[in-house]
Structure formats: C-alpha cells, structure tokens
Structure 1
C-alpha cells in the first residue's frame, strides 16, 4: 500500500472527512441565515464530530477487554485526544444556550452508544432507530447550534431548514444502509432490510422531491441558491440511484460524505 493511500485511508477512518462534512453544513446554515461566520461553532462541530464518531466506532473495541493497540489505533486515539481538547476549548467560547444544545446532542450520542439498560443494549442496536438518531444529532449540531449561538429569533424558516436538513441526512444514510446491506445484522431492521433496495431508493427520491418543494417555498427570490440546491439534490439522487451492496467503501466514506462539502463550496462561490 502506497503512502498517499495509507494517509487517505487514515483520513477517512479517523472521521476527519465526516467532520469536514459537518463543518460544511454549519457554514451552509450560516450562509442560509446570513449569519457572520463563527469559528468557535464550526470548529466545535468539526472537533466534536471526530470525537463522537471515533467513540462510536471504537468504543466496542475499547470495551472488549484487551484491544490490540497497534500503531494505527494509537494514531486514532491521538487524533481523538487532540479533537477532544479542541472541542473543549471551543465549547467554552459558545453562548450558554448553545452549550445546552450541544450538551443535549452529547447525551443523544451517549444514549446511542453506551448500554444504559440491564440487557446491556444501546439505542444503536434498537431496530430501525439508528438512522433517525443520527439524523437528529446532525440537525442539532449543524442547524440549531449556529442559529442559537447567533441569538436570532426562531421562525418558520428555522423549522423548514431543520426539516430539509433532516431529510437530506436521512437520504444520505439510506445510501450507507444500501451499501452495508450485506454486513448489517438483520435485527437492525434498516430501511433496505425492511422494504428492499428498490423501495428505499424510491422513498429517498420522494423525500428529495419534498426537500426541493420546501426549498422552492423558502426560496425568497434567491434563484441562484435554489439552483445550487437543485444541483445538490440531483447529485444526491444520482448517488442513491447508483448505490448497491457491491460498491467499494470509498463510495460512501468519501464521495457520499462529500455532498455537504460540495454544497458549501458552491454557496461560497455564489457569495
């Protein structure tokens, strides 16, 4: 394996790319609501995502008794350690309400990962819940945090953005569930397991159409932004349409997770 490929794989597996997607969605929220950029909010989202995702991915290994502490695992721990202190630093520069909202997101993440009940199960193993818990966390971090920290009045626009963000994340997660269909435990009852791949794609397209209708309703005479949103929906629909269980891991771990980054870049170019 060449060094560039090893570095690229480490970048993906250490959750830096998914954290970049969260960072991009926070910036998108700031652009949508014309908020001044707040680096503490966006970097808190970035660092917090690295910590949260690595905790979810490697918690089972850490609690298995004697995990194998190879060089790569030590590197993951090192990245998570640095990200943790970065998140702590940014947290203390947030407003009180933003800190409360971020605390709620942390509780949801812990509830999703840790076993709180006598049978030692967690919310992650509850049938059909995973996708909605993850989407809810993403909405909280990428929409509620920047809006709350800016102190703007919550209006119907805020609700619509939350709904659209939830829809987009859910559809992106549909793609992950289709790709992982061959490996997921049947007891998870993911959407493709319950209704099949074809119906999952149809449901995803339907949700994306709802997204566009809401975007049209909220356009506010900003035709270029509506065009960009349409491009992103077409791109997401294409990824969804082409998804199947034999796709390589990079299909989701890099390309699908790049959708928010592409969206953010297009909006920044527009502004």
Structure 2
C-alpha cells in the first residue's frame, strides 16, 4: 500500500497528471474545430508540460543546491530529460509558424522562472501576475498552437474560445491559491491574499456566467457542447465552493487538475 502511495505521489509530483490535463485540452481544441488527431501537436503539449512544470517547480531547488537530490528528484530529473527528447522530436514535426509561436511561449516560461533582470525576482514572484501568466500560457499551448499548426482561421470562434479557456484555467488556479493560502509568500499577492477567500470564490463563480453565455455567440453553436459546459460549470463551482486552506493536497493536485480531462471525456461520450 505504501508503494502504491509513493507511486501515486510521484505521478503527481512529476507533473504527469497536469500534462494529461493539457493533453486533454489540446484534444478538446482539435475536436471543437474539426481538426484530425494531430499526434505531434498533442504529444508536444504533453511532454512539454512535463518539462515546463518540472523546470518551474524544481529549478530553484537545483540551482540553490540547498539539499542533496533525493532518489525521487533524480527520477523526476530523468523523466524530464526523456520528456525533453520527446519534445524536441515532436517540435521538428510541427509547422514552422507553430515552432515560432511555441518558442515565444518558451520565452514566457523562462521569464516566469528565471531572474533575467538585475536586482529583480523572476516573474513568478512578481506581485499578482502569476495567475495571468499561467492562464495565458495554457490558452496559448492548448488552443492557439493546435489551430496554428492546422492552419485554422483565428477568427471569431477562436477569440470566444480564448476567453472561455482563460476563464476555465483562471478558476482552476483560484482553487489552488485558496488551498495554498497559508503557505504562499504574502508578497505574491495572490487573489485570495488580496480580496479574501469568500470573495475569491464569488469571483470564480461569477466568471463562470460569461463562460456559459459565450457559447451562444459562437458561429458553430452546438447544443450538446452547451450541455457539457454546464456539467463542467457545476463541477468546477462545487470545487470552488468547498475549497479551503485545510483541504488535502490531493484536492487540488489530483481532483481539480482532473477537470479538463473529465471535460474531454464528457465531450467524447456525448
């Protein structure tokens, strides 16, 4: 039982689970816009998420050398290295314009992690901007890249989906920020730190209203998609309402991060 627990913890800590969520959103984009299954694009996002998230989470620890790397961190480093090779392989199968856009998002990730500017912390520690940078990166990787690689028109429906996807990721991060409230540096000025937990929940719930109604503005409105979105809204609302600082780490790192994957499954089933 202990081994299963450790294996599950490794699955979460190594960012495989969040990578599956990103993969699911890429597949959602391909489905919504009628794009045939593009394996290089889907796996580029999957392995790229593993590399990016592990770099963000463990880079500071590795550079500071505050402690010896445990076996678990060595395994995560090995997985990240293998994922880097997979990312490179997939990258060279993408269209040239997609590669350029992907490099732009890579630069944003590096800016988010590394202190490029003298006497300034990295963007991850800039007060109040973390949630916006992460949400924009998710929109770019899961929505913009698949469409660009498929030479799709970035028109009216794309803009609506950008807003919807941003709201979805923004709300997911709000749950994380509520649960991490006691552990986050006060200087980060996360949303719950600035307006309180209850107002954060209200903000998240209010944002789900335009998320639903924007579906009616799409040129290719599909009733079943609206039904699926309503299921998603109910599910996310419940996670927001019942989130608090005393919740288990699995509440956010597993259950909340499973929402995009569950959303994709609902679309496939319906």
Same fold, TM-score > 0.5, yes or no: yes
Deviation by residue 1:37-82 (Cα, 9 ceiling, x = unmatched): 1010010000000000000000111111354122111100011011
Q: Distance between the aligned counterparts of 1:119 and 1:221, measured in 2? A: 50
1:141 corresponds to: 141
Q: Which runs of 4+ in 1 moved over 6 A?
A: none
2:170 matches 1:170:
yes
Q: Distance between the aligned counterparts of 2:116 and 2:67, measured in 1? A: 22
1:116 corresponds to: 116
**How far apart are 1:222 and its partner, in Å?**
1.5
2:9 matches 1:33:
no
Alignment of 1:150-189 (within 5 A): 150-189=150-189
Secondary structure at 1:97 match in 2: helix
User: Does the C-alpha gap of structure 1 residues 4 and 72 become closer, same or farther in structure 2, counting only changes over 3 Å?
Assistant: same
Q: Distance between the aligned counterparts of 2:129 and 2:51, measured in 1? A: 22
Q: Distance between the aligned counterparts of 1:61 and 1:220, measured in 2? A: 47
**How far apart are 1:170 and its partner, in Å?**
0.4
Alignment of 1:1-271 (within 5 A): 2-65=2-65, 67-218=67-218, 220-270=220-270
Secondary structure at 1:63 match in 2: helix
Structure 1: state its 5+ residue gaps. none
Q: Retained in 2: the 8 A contact 1:219–1:226?
A: no
Q: Distance between the aligned counterparts of 2:258 and 2:200, measured in 1? A: 21
Secondary structure at 2:64 match in 1: coil
- TM-score for both structures, normalised by structure 2: 0.98
Of the structure 1 ranges 167-176 and 62-71, higher mean CA displacement relative to structure 2 is found in 62-71
Of the structure 1 ranges 261-270 and 170-179, higher mean CA displacement relative to structure 2 is found in 261-270
Q: Distance between the aligned counterparts of 1:220 and 1:153, measured in 2? A: 14
Number of aligned positions between the proteins: 270
**How far apart are 1:137 and its partner, in Å?**
0.4
